[in-house]
Structure 1
Amino acid sequence: MITLENINKYYQQGDHRFHVLHDINLEINQGELVAIIGESGSGKSTLINIIGFLDDDFEGTYFYQDQPIHEYTRKQFSKLRNRNVGFVFQNFKLLRESSVADNVALPLLYARKKRQEIGTRVMEVLNQVGLSGYEKQFPKNMSGGQQQRVSIARAISTHPKFLIADEPTGALDTETSQEIMNLFKRLNRQENTTIIMVTHDPHVADQCDRIVKIIDGRVVSDSKDGE
């Protein structure tokens, strides 16, 4: 599904050019649940920005479903992102003054779906994440775990090919973190949703099928469950 070959990333700050990612080679198959781990500043977020089509300024080759997207224009990257990726963040990034239903509906509105289709899909995904009946609630009145469930519902509303979850349990207590992990695992197994998860938490990483460790912008290990 995803093949990165010799990916290098640089940032320019004034006269200085910083080499952030060094010759990253990585393959991710359809249906995998992958954890990307590493210390702060190791390059994890930079890597998932490239994987999730948020950053098109890199060196190397990126094949997505056998298409050479490193040759795409910025406009093509944007279309690819909107049609293929769902994002889940540590701080939820919800519109706190809008209802749960309106938050979940947002990507569907961008995708220009019909109103009736949007209403049906919102109900479906809220049921999937265990929030049936919460359509008229407001995120500002909900717990952290409930808000993260809303953000997951929003992320899966457009049937994305894969999810990128950036520290999705980082702002949650241990029990709630496990509830969210159980939800991710259920989506992965029952819906065959490919999930790429950045985490600092070894307990979260250990529940994934595969752990990719990055140190100083380099992949230093890539292990599958049981290895």
Structure 2
Amino acid sequence: MIRLEHVNKYYGQGATRFHVLHDINLQVAAGELMAIIGESGSGKSTLINIIGFLDDDFEGNYFYNDQAIHDYTRADFAKLRNQHVGFVFQNFKLIRDISIAENVILPLLYAGVGRRQAKKTAARVLSRVGLGGYDDKLPTELSGGQQQRVSIARAIIANPDFLIADEPTGALDTKTSQEIMDLFKQLNQTQHTTIIMVTHDPRVAEQCERVVKIIDGRIVDDRKVGAN
């Protein structure tokens, strides 16, 4: 599905240019549950910004479903992002003063789906993530783990080709973190959702099928772990 070849990323210009990613070569197959692990500042967030079509300013080649996209325009990248990828963030990024259902349907509304149909779909997806009947609640009425489930529902409602989860358990306690990991594994195993997860927590990474380790902008390890 995803193939990066000799990708380099720089910030700044001239003498102040900083080399963030060094000659990244990476492939992600459809249906994988993969963790990208590294300390803060290692370059893992920069890498997923490129993978998730958030950053089009890089050197090297990017093939998506065998289509060369590295020369696409920013508008092309935005279209790819809206149509093919869902995002889950550490801090949930929910709109606090609208209902859970209204948060979840946003990707469908952007895609032109009618509100009535979108809300029916949201109800089904919320049930899938264990929040059936929570449609009218506000984010502030939910626990952190429940809010993360809402953000996962929002990420999957438009049936994206893959999910990017950026430190999805970073703001949660150990028990809740495991519940969220179990949900990701369920989505991967039953819905065959491709998931690329960024984490600094080895306990989270080891529950994925594959772990890619990045240090100082370089991939230093890429190994299969096995489904758990």
TM-score calculated relative to the size of structure 2: 0.97
Number of residue pairs matched by the alignment: 226
Deviations 1:37-58 (A, max 9, x none): 0111000000000000000000
Q: Measure, in 1, the Cα distance between the counterparts of 2:15 and 2:106.
A: 41
Is 1:105 the counterpart of 2:86? The answer is no
Provide the residue aligned with 1:34 in structure 2: 34
In 2, the alpha carbon distance for the partners of 1:43 and 1:127 equals 35
The Cα of 1:117 is off from its aligned counterpart by 2.0
Query: Where in structure 2 are the equivalents of 1:63-212 lying within 5 Å?
Result: 63-212=63-212
Report deviation, 1:173.
0.3
DSSP 3-state at the match of 1:221? strand
Inter-partner Cα distance in structure 1 for 2:204 and 2:69: 31
CA distance in 1, matches of 2:71, 2:145: 39
1:21 maps to what in 2?
21
Once the 2 structures are TM-superposed, how far is the Cα of residue 15 of structure 1 from its aligned partner? 4.6
Percentage of pairs with the same residue:
70
Please name the residue that 1:55 is paired with.
55
**Superposition CA RMSD, Å:** 0.9
Deviation readout 1:90-111 (Å, 9 max, x if unpaired): 0000001110000001111101
Q: Unmatched 5+ residue regions in structure 1?
A: none
Which SS does the other structure have where 2:70 is aligned? Answer: helix
Deviation at residue 71 of structure 1 after TM alignment: 1.4
Which contiguous aligned blocks of 4+ residues in structure 1 show a shift greater than 2 angstroms?
none
How much does 1:115 deviate? 2.4
Secondary structure of 2:136 counterpart: coil
User: By how many angstroms is 1:124 displaced?
Assistant: 1.1
Q: Distance in 1 between matches of 2:112 and 2:55?
A: 24
In 1, Cα distance between the equivalents of 2:104 and 2:217? 34
**How far 1:116 moved relative to its partner?**
2.8
Partners of 2:169 and 2:157 lie apart in 1 by: 20
> Scaled by the length of structure 1, what TM-score is found?
0.98
CA distance in 2, matches of 1:84, 1:220: 28
Deviation at 1:60, TM superposition (A): 0.2
Q: Within 1, Cα distance between the matches of 2:39 and 2:200?
A: 7
Uncovered stretches (5+) of structure 2, i.e. residues with no partner: none
- The 2-side partners of 1:200 and 1:16 are apart by 28
Q: Which stretch shifts more, 117-126 or 51-60? A: 117-126
Question: Aligned partners of 1:147 and 1:123: how far apart in 2?
Answer: 15
Please report how far the alpha carbon of residue 25 of structure 1 lies from its aligned counterpart in structure 2 after TM superposition: 0.2
Distance in 2, Cα, partners of 1:114 & 1:38: 41
In the alignment, the residues of structure 2 paired with residue 21 and residue 14 of structure 1 have an alpha-carbon distance, to the nearest angstrom, of 17
> How many Å separate the matches in 1 of 2:15 and 2:200?
32
- Structure 2 letter corresponding to 1:25: N
Name the aligned partner's letter for residue 52 of structure 1.
G
Q: CA deviation at 1:119?
A: 1.6
